[in-house]
Structure 1
């Protein structure tokens, strides 16, 4: 089970006792910075666009990666996703089958990515990039890891790799890095884990960022806003927009999710006019149990409420049996879109297209 971050990461004074973590934080940051500086990364034959974040936990990387893939497809590009497959058992490299694979094997986010474009799961990003390079090169579809897996189809080969996460992974050269920042909490206290939420020292990360996308939050300042502005990295603003079905507004719902900031999901529903009778939060990437499934369904019946969750959470229920299969069928998923501020979408796409050209262009 994933532990929730301490509240003082994102507001208020750091407790005196927490400063005992400073030596650990300094060591963690030093190791991360040296790893970034001394790596000898592999340069793919395909251009690589990375979508990552500065901090631990979710910031909205996957929705932004999906949006950027759609924008690239709109200008004739053929992206493929490369992801670690957090929460799954598959080490890869493996091209997943969005219909046959389940979250236990490949993780939840790859199942969402695979709906939009070919998706490779690989804990070794270099090996994953090589597999994408090989796609369309005449390889026979095979089911073993390290090959093009079952369900493969004869399509034009990818011409761009989009990494969902992996910004701090130094083993693959990135041509353009988009860093997503949750506009509700920003970068918190701007200290390195475990004294704060940063995955590595901020300056070292900013030096590798080509664009920052502030996702959600108000139009004003957010924690760490001044630090990001001084860095001189182009900043773009976007928001998560729910694609609400009218049926959701017509009856009370029991909302449940296991994401980085569950409150964002619940607030999104309420702001869209969905009557949330009850909200149930689970840890990020929570592996739902039979007891969870039975409890949620029983409570929904008692409330005469419709079960609703995120697309990522519903993906983790896919292919299960018993009460989990029943919950998969009973729960509605809330589709979302990422919408950029006027002018920002075109500007960001133009910057990416300049920096991530086709190798054969």
Structure 2
């Protein structure tokens, strides 16, 4: 699904205003759910979530945390809902055996870095994670799900768009009213730059949440190979425009840009159109890691095999934010939730 454009306009359109009563009802219900007590699985749970629907950098943030936990001698295990996959779990994700149609694209990316459990039932998933030897659980998404008690909750926000028009679904992109979310978050991580993010930083600080800053840095080796190249870029992520802009920043020339819905699977006809246009215009095809994971095991992936490059990105917090994030994790692991 592609988020409607009016969600991200700071001014409230007529449609947003008409839908706002529904948004108020859904927001009130979501806020009530946030206050419910959760199950304690016996190990710390670190949750990485978004206040809004759509991508902002949750998965790169979860991967960053897991890498630091592993370096510190911990045994993290990812817990994910497996959005876009048919499996309900709980199950341990096995990348050679599972494809995105089974477990979703995010689960496959996580499983490359650390053991990953997929579970729609988060309590059952946490129990399996502990059985698998986890001494800390990193949740990719699930901030608004009250099933588990969290030792540390982070809200990740794309600073360029913030929370859009500030309304709850379906009138806007918020999953719940912002203030109740901020009240349950130890920190807000702003990724990138923008006036919308700066306005949110003030609200987060007023609510007592730490304000952290970072950026998504493209892989230097791949970036050097794409420098000066004319490319056809395609992406089915929360904000494809952000990927296209990243290509321009590294010096690539995205002659053709194709935006698909978030987590949208590509069919053979889509692949054929991309290949045909790239060949006609002599363009190099490039996409995101999530899109590449979603192509594995599909007919579209078979058609595109060997014909596209992948540009990975990593979260890079600024130096002060990295230190503060380490301190928040240490407090959570020591049983002093942030």
Common topology (TM > 0.5): yes
Q: 2:245 aligns with which of 264, 267, 270?
A: 267
Contact 2:16/2:172 (8 A) holds in 1: no
Match of 2:264 in 1: 286
CA distance in 1, matches of 2:20, 2:228: 51
What residue is the counterpart of 1:330 in the other structure?
Answer: 307
Task: Tell me the TM-score normalised to structure 1 length.
Answer: 0.88
SS at the partner of 1:329?
A: coil
CA distance in 1 between counterparts of 2:166 and 2:125 reads 32
CA contact (8 A) 2:160 2:195 kept: no
Does the aligned pair in 2 maintain the 1:243–1:334 contact within 8 Å?
A: yes
Indicate how the Cα distance of structure 1 residues 174 and 12 shifts in structure 2: closer, same or farther if over 3 A, else same: closer
| Equivalent residues, number | 334
Correspondence for 1:178: 154
Residue in 2 that maps onto 1:342: 319
Q: 1:224: how far off?
A: 3.4
Question: 1:79-130: CA deviations, max 9, x gaps?
Answer: 1000000000000000010122100000000000001000000001000000
Q: How big is the shift at 1:226? A: 3.2
Are 1:188 and 1:224, in contact at CA under 8 Å, matched by a contact in 2?
no
- Runs of 4 or more, structure 1, over 6 Å off, are none
Alignment equivalent of 1:105, drawn from 91, 94, 102? 102
The whole-number CA distance in structure 2 between the counterparts of 1:350 and 1:226 is 22
Structure 1 counterpart SS, 2:227: helix
Aligned to 2:171: 195
CA contact (8 A) 1:254 1:278 kept: yes
Match of 1:132 among 118, 129, 132: 129
Bigger Cα displacement from structure 2, 62-71 vs 324-333:
324-333
Query: Residue 251 of structure 1 aligns with which residue?
Result: 229
* Contact 1:185–1:223, Cα closer than 8 Å, also in 2: no
Aligned ranges for residues 53-64 of structure 1 at < 5 Å? 53-64=50-61
Q: What is the SS of the residue equivalent to 1:224?
A: helix
Any conservation in 2 of the 1:213–1:236 contact (CA below 8 Å)? yes
Match for 1:81 among 38, 61, 78? 78
Q: How is 1:1-361 mapped onto 2 (pairs within 5 angstroms)?
A: 2-7=1-6, 9-37=7-35, 39-135=36-132, 157-218=133-194, 222-244=198-220, 245=222, 246-321=224-299, 323-357=300-334
Please state how far the C-alpha of 1:197 moved relative to its aligned partner.
Answer: 1.4
Rounded to whole Å, the distance in 1 between the matches of 2:122 and 2:197 is 35
Cα distance in 2 for residues equivalent to 1:12 and 1:178: 24
1:42/1:126 contact within 8 Å kept: yes
Counterparts of 1:218 and 1:32, CA distance in 2: 27
Contact 2:15 2:171 in 1 (8 A): no
Q: Which of the two has greater helix per residue?
A: 2
Partners of 2:102 and 2:38 in 1: CA distance: 27
Q: Structure 2 CA distance, aligned partners of 1:21 and 1:320?
A: 38
Mapped to 1, the partners of 2:56 and 2:76 lie a distance apart of 22
Cα distance in 1 for residues equivalent to 2:198 and 2:157: 10
State the TM-score, normalizing by the size of structure 2: 0.94
CA–CA distance in 2 between the matches of 1:16 and 1:219? 23
- Structure 1: unaligned runs, 5 residues or longer: 136-156
Paired residue secondary structure (1:269): helix
Contact 2:155 2:188 in 1 (8 A): yes
Structure 2 unmatched ranges of 5 or more = none
Structure 2 distance, partners of 1:221, 1:93, is: 36
Q: Distance in 2 between matches of 1:118 and 1:253?
A: 34
Deviation at 1:247, TM superposition (A): 2.3
Change (3 A) 1:127 1:192: same
